[in-house]
C-alpha cells in the first residue's frame, strides 16, 4: 500500500501539469536508492514506477511477487516480456499511453545520467525535464507531514527503540569488561528480536573517551564501555520502512562539576524545546531556544536540534538555525510546526576530556497534539 | 593510497583524450556510492575526485582529515573556502585548469542527473560527455585484474572468512535451539573481532527448509538451524574496502539419496571448475563445465558459477554462460582468465523439500598460478 494520500497525489499531478511533464519516473535500484518509490507505489525497493500526468501508474519491479503483495498501482509490468530490458518496457508503455510527438519525462535528483542518455536515444521526441531538484523538493515537502498510517508505523519503530532503552540500561549497569561493540551487537540482537527489520542506521556507541566526536569513527570500537566521563549510544529501529532515532546518554564514575553542568544544560535545553512545541511555531525558534541555553551555559551545540523521521532517517522538516548571510537567506524558507510532522529533539554538548552528552527523543504532532514517542533517559553507572 | 596502477591510470587518460573529455568527475556520496573514488584516489568515501586529461588530480572531500590520511592526489580542496558548495569549488578548479572555451566533462554511469543540470548551468561553455557507460565499463575492466597490493588485501579479507568457517562449524555442531539469526550474529561478532571493518554483505543463513530459495528473504530468520535437510550460510568480510565471499553448506540428520547426490554433484562441479583454471581459459567454459556436471546429474544450476571480488562484492570478471540468442551475442565479449583476477567459484543446486547446497571459495591468479584463498567445507551434523 502506498504511503502518499490521494490529496497529496493530486498535488503531485498538479506540479506535473504545471511543469508540462507527461511522465514521471521514480527509480530505486541497488546503485541509486530512492524511498520515493515506496512512498508513491508501496513497493518497498528495486523497481521503477511510472506516473502519467493523468494519474495512471505502472510499476516495473525486479521482484514480481513482492510487487503483487505490496504495491498499489494500476498496472504491474513484467520486464521479462521485454527481454528483461526495463528501458524497452518503458518505451512500450510510453508509446501506448502518451500519444503526443514531443514527450517530457520528469525524474528526481539522483536519477542516473546514464539512464537519461539511454532513454533519450531510445525514444525519439522524448526529452527530460531539466529541473529534477524541483520534483525532489516537492515530494520531500509532501513527505514532511505524515498520514495516520505512517504515524502508526513510526510509533511502532519508536516503541521498539524505547523497549530497547531498558536493555541498554541493564547492559550498562552490569558492564565491566564489555566493549562498545558488545553493546552494539546487544542492541542489534534485541531490536531484531522485537521485530525491527533492520537498524535505522549503524549504531553509534562512544564511551567517555570518544563521545566528544560527533560521528565517532568507527561507530563502535573495541574500547571498554566503562571509561570515565560522558558517553552516548545513538541508535534506532527500522520498521516497515519507517525509522526511529534515539540517543541515550550515560556515564561511568563521578561527574566533575563541568560534566554535571553539561548534563543539566542538555536536559534543560531538551525540555525547553519540547515545552514550546505547538502547531504554528517556527522551527528555527525551537532550535534557537535550545541553542541559547547551551551557548549561554558555555557549551554551544555544534549541530542542529533535530530532523524529520519517516521513510528516511533524515526526512523533512529540519530544526536548525535561521541563516544570517544574505546568500543563504535568499534560498531559506521559514518552516512552522504542522500537524503530522514527526521529528527528533536532540540537544547535545561535547568537549575533549569530558566526553559527549546528548538526549534524543522522537516527537509527533497528531491532531494538533504533541506526542513524545520515545522515553530516553540518563544512565548513570 | 590509490589502488589503480600508474600504467592503468595512463590508459584511463588515453580514453579521456580519445573521447575528447577534458575533465572526469568521480563522485561518491551518501545517495550515490561509487567505489571508483577509492580506486582512483585512495579516499574511501564521501567526496568528488576530478581528473584532468593531462593527469592532474584534485579531491573535494567531505572529511578533510580522512583525505589527508588516505588519499593520493595532487591537491585536496576544502569546499569550506567556497561556501561549502562543491559545485562552486569545481567551477573555480575548472576555470583555473582548463583554459579552453568549450569544455567537456566525463562522468560514470550513476552520476546524478541533477548534478549534470546544475553544473551545465553554472559553467558556461561546459558540456557533459554523453557516454558515461563507456567510462564505467572501461574502469570496471581495469579493476578486473588486481595489483599485488590489492591481492594482499583480498587475501586478508579471505583469511578472516576462512578463520570464521571454524567458528561456524563449532556453532553448527553444538546447535540445538539456536536460530539462523543467532548464527548470523555470531558470524558478525567473530568477523568484527578479527578486524573486518564490515560484513561484505548481509549474511544469508538458510536452514533445510529455506535454502532452496536462492536469496532467502529475510536473509536470516528466527527458524531453528537444526532442521533436517541441506542448508547454507553465505557470508564474507570487508577489509580496507576489499571483500571476501564464502558459502559453507551444512546439513542436519541423515541425507536421503537425492540429497547425497546434490552434495556429490556440487563438490564434483566445484573441483572440476578449479581443475581447469589456467591463464587463457575462456571463463564461459569454466561455467559450462560445472553446469554440465550439475545438469547431467539432474540438478541444473539456476545461477552463474562465479563473479569477481574487489572493491565491490560483484566485480568483473563474471563466470557465466555464453549467450545463445543473436541479440545478446552482439554485446557479448569472451573473457579469458588473466593474471591478477580474483573471483568466486560457487556451484549450487536447490530443490524444494530437499534444501539448497552450495560450495563457494575465493580464487586468485597470482603470477600465473592459481591460489585458492578460502577453505570452505561441508559441515554435517
pLDDT value at position B239? 96
A-interface mutation test, from B112, B240, B328, most A Cβ less than 10 A away? B112
pLDDT tens figures, A44-96: 999 999 999 999 999 999 888 889 999 999 999 998 898 778 899 999 999 99
Same-domain status, B52 and B82: yes
Q: Could you say which of A133, A185, A218 has the minimum Cβ distance to residue B185?
A: A185
pLDDT value at position A36? 98
Same-domain status, A105 and A199: no
Same-domain status, A170 and A80: no
Q: Which letter does DSSP use for residue A145 in this model?
A: B
User: Of the candidates B105, B121, B143, which is a domain's last residue?
Assistant: B143
d(CA B116, CA B123): 11
Strand ranges in chain A using DSSP code E only, listed in sequence order: 23-28, 47-52, 57-61, 75-76, 103-106, 126-128, 198-199, 204-206, 229-235, 237-239, 242-243, 246-252, 306-308, 315-319, 342-345, 348-351, 355-358, 361-366, 369-372, 379-380
Same-domain status, A213 and A318: yes
Tell me how close the Cα of A240 comes to any Cα of chain B, in angstroms.
13
- Asked if the structure places residue B34 within a domain, the reply is yes
- Asked if the structure places residue A197 within a domain, the reply is yes
CA nearest to B192 within chain A: A181
Average pLDDT over residues B100-106: 96
Does the structure show a pLDDT above 90 at A218?
no
Cell of B205: 543463513
Q: Name which of B196, B134, B123 is nearest B164 in CA terms.
A: B196
Q: Could you say which of A83, A181, A193 has the minimum Cβ distance to residue B192?
A: A181
Same-domain status, A30 and A48: yes
Average pLDDT over residues B32-43: 96
pLDDT value at position B139? 98
CA nearest to A193 within chain B: B222
Does the structure show a pLDDT above 80 at B215?
no
Average pLDDT, chain B: 95
B-interface mutation test, from A45, A88, A112, most B Cβ less than 10 A away? A112
Q: Could you say which of B33, B117, B193 has the minimum Cβ distance to residue A130?
A: B117
Same-domain status, B236 and B167: yes
Helix or strand holding residue B28 (H, E): strand B23-28
Start-to-end Cα distance in chain B: 45
The domain that holds A45 is classified in CATH as: 3.40.350.10
Does the structure show a pLDDT above 80 at B281?
yes
> What's chain B's length in residues?
381
Helices (H), chain B: 6-18, 36-41, 64-70, 86-97, 113-122, 132-143, 148-173, 180-193, 257-275, 283-296, 326-331
Tell me how close the Cα of B285 comes to any Cα of chain A, in angstroms.
24
- Asked if the structure places residue B75 within a domain, the reply is yes
Same-domain status, B50 and B158: no
Given an 8 Å threshold on Cβ–Cβ distance, is B128 in contact with A113? yes
- Asked if the structure places residue A87 within a domain, the reply is yes
Q: What percent of chain B has pLDDT over 70?
A: 100
Cell of B42: 585512495
Instruction: Give contacts of B116 with chain A, Cβ < 8 Å.
Output: 113, 116
Instruction: Give contacts of A192 with chain B, Cβ < 8 Å.
Output: 181
CA nearest to A135 within chain B: B114
Q: What ipTM does this complex have?
A: 0.84
pLDDT tens figures, A360-378: 999 999 999 999 999 999 9
Tell me how close the Cα of A153 comes to any Cα of chain B, in angstroms.
19
Structural domain including A340 reads 145-380
Same-domain status, B99 and B237: no
Tell me how close the Cα of B265 comes to any Cα of chain A, in angstroms.
30
User: Of the candidates A143, A174, A197, which is a domain's last residue?
Assistant: A143
CA nearest to A34 within chain B: B31
Domain count, chain A: 2
Distances (CA, A) of A308 to A199, A206, A263, A342, B332: 17, 24, 25, 6, 47
Same-domain status, B128 and B156: no
pLDDT value at position B180? 96
Q: Could you say which of A132, A189, A193 has the minimum Cβ distance to residue B113?
A: A132
pLDDT tens figures, B73-95: 999 999 889 877 889 999 999 99
B-interface mutation test, from A25, A88, A114, A221, most B Cβ less than 10 A away? A114
Given an 8 Å threshold on Cβ–Cβ distance, is A113 in contact with B117? no
Strands B47-52 and B23-28: antiparallel
CA nearest to A120 within chain B: B130
d(CA A281, CA A261): 29
CA nearest to B223 within chain A: A193
Radius of gyration of chain A from its Cα atoms, rounded to whole angstroms: 23
Give chain A's contact residues with B (Cβ, < 8 Å). 31-33, 83, 107-114, 116-118, 128, 130-133, 136, 181, 185, 188-189, 192-193, 197, 218, 222, 327
B-interface mutation test, from A113, A197, A222, A223, most B Cβ less than 10 A away? A113
Average pLDDT over residues B253-282: 98
Q: Which residues contact B285 (CB under 8 A, 6 or more apart)?
A: B276
Are B235 and B199 contacting, i.e. CB atoms less than 8 angstroms apart? yes
Query: Please, what is the angle between helix B132-143 and helix B6-18, to 10°?
Result: 160
- Asked if the structure places residue A1 within a domain, the reply is no
Given an 8 Å threshold on Cβ–Cβ distance, is B116 in contact with A111? no
Strands A306-308 and A369-372: unpaired
pLDDT value at position A324? 84
**Local confidence band at B130 (pLDDT 50, 70, 90 cut-offs):** very high
Same-domain status, A79 and A152: no
**Local confidence band at A216 (pLDDT 50, 70, 90 cut-offs):** confident
Q: Could you say which of B107, B112, B128 has the minimum Cβ distance to residue A109?
A: B112
User: Of the candidates B143, B158, B185, which is a domain's last residue?
Assistant: B143
Given an 8 Å threshold on Cβ–Cβ distance, is B133 in contact with A118? yes
Average pLDDT over residues A229-241: 97
Strands B342-345 and B369-372: unpaired
The domain that holds A276 is classified in CATH as: 3.90.230.10
Distances (CA, A) of B168 to A13, B171, B373: 53, 5, 18
Given an 8 Å threshold on Cβ–Cβ distance, is B132 in contact with A118? no
- Asked if the structure places residue B1 within a domain, the reply is no
* Number of cross-chain residue pairs from A and B with Cβ atoms under 8 Å apart: 80
Q: Could you say which of A107, A112, A132 has the minimum Cβ distance to residue B109?
A: A112
Strands B23-28 and B103-106: parallel
Cell of B215: 536469496
pTM: 0.88
Given an 8 Å threshold on Cβ–Cβ distance, is A110 in contact with B112? yes
Given an 8 Å threshold on Cβ–Cβ distance, is B185 in contact with A181? no
d(CA B271, CA A324): 68
Same-domain status, A124 and A230: no
Q: Could you say which of A107, A128, A189 has the minimum Cβ distance to residue B185?
A: A189
Instruction: Give contacts of B110 with chain A, Cβ < 8 Å.
Output: 31-32, 112-114
Given an 8 Å threshold on Cβ–Cβ distance, is A116 in contact with B112? no
Q: Which residues contact A325 (CB under 8 A, 6 or more apart)?
A: none
Same-domain status, A304 and A320: yes
Q: Which letter does DSSP use for residue A369 in this model?
A: E
Amino acid at each position: 500500500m502506498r504511503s502518499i494520500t490521494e490529496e497529496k497525489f493530486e498535488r503531485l499531478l498538479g506540479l506535473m501539469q504545471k511543469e508540462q511533464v507527461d511522465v514521471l519516473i521514480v527509480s530505486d535500484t541497488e546503485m541509486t536508492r530512492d524511498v520515493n518509490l515506496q512512498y508513491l507505489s508501496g513497493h518497498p525497493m528495486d523497481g521503477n514506477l511510472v506516473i502519467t500526468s493523468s494519474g495512471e501508474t505502472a510499476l516495473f519491479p525486479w521482484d514480481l511477487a513482492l510487487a503483487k503483495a505490496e504495491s498499489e498501482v494500476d498496472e504491474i509490468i513484467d520486464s521479462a516480456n521485454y527481454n528483461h530490458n526495463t528501458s524497452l518496457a518503458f518505451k512500450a508503455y510510453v508509446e501506448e499511453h502518451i500519444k503526443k510527438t514531443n514527450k517530457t519525462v520528469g525524474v528526481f535528483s539522483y536519477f542516473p545520467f546514464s539512464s537519461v542518455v539511454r532513454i533519450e536515444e531510445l525514444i525519439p521526441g522524448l526529452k527530460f525535464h531539466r529541473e529534477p531538484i524541483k520534483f525532489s523538493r516537492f515530494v520531500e515537502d509532501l513527505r514532511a507531514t505524515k498520514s495516520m498510517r505512517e504515524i502508526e508505523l513510526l510509533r511502532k519503530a519508536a516503541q521498539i527503540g524505547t523497549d530497547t532503552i531498558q536493555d541498554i540500561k541493564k547492559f550498562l549497569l552490569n558492564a565491566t569488561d564489555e566493549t562498545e561493540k558488545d553493546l552494539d551487537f546487544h542492541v542489534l540482537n534485541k531490536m531484531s528480536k522485537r521485530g525491527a527489520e533492520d537498524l535505522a542506521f549503524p549504531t553509534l556507541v562512544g564511551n567517555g573517551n570518544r563521545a566528544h566526536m560527533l560521528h565517532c569513527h568507527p561507530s563502535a570500537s573495541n574500547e571498554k564501555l566503562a571509561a570515565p566521563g560522558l558517553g552516548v549510544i545513538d541508535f534506532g529501529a527500522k520498521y516497515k520502512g519507517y525509522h526511529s532515532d534515539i540517543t541515550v546518554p550515560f556515564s561511568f564514575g563521578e561527574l566533575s562539576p563541568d560534566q554535571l553542568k553539561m548534563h543539566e544544560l542538555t536536559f534543560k535545553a531538551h525540555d525547553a524545546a519540547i515545552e514550546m512545541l505547538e502547531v504554528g511555531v517556527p522551527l528555527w525558534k525551537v532550535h534557537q531556544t535550545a541553542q541559547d541555553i547551551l551557548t549561554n551555559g558555555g557549551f554551544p551545540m555544534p549541530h542542529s536540534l533535530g530532523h524529520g523521521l519517516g521513510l528516511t532517517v533524515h526526512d523533512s522538516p529540519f530544526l536548525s538555525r535561521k541563516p544570517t548571510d544574505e546568500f543563504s537567506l535568499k534560498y531559506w524558507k521559514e518552516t512552522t510546526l504542522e500537524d503530522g510532522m514527526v521529528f527528533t529533539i536532540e540537544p547535545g554538548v561535547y568537549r575533549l576530556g569530558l566526553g559527549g552528552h546528548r538526549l534524543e527523543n522522537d516527537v509527533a504532532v497528531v491532531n494538533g497534539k504533541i506526542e513524545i514517542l520515545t522515553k530516553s533517559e540518563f544512565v548513570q553507572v
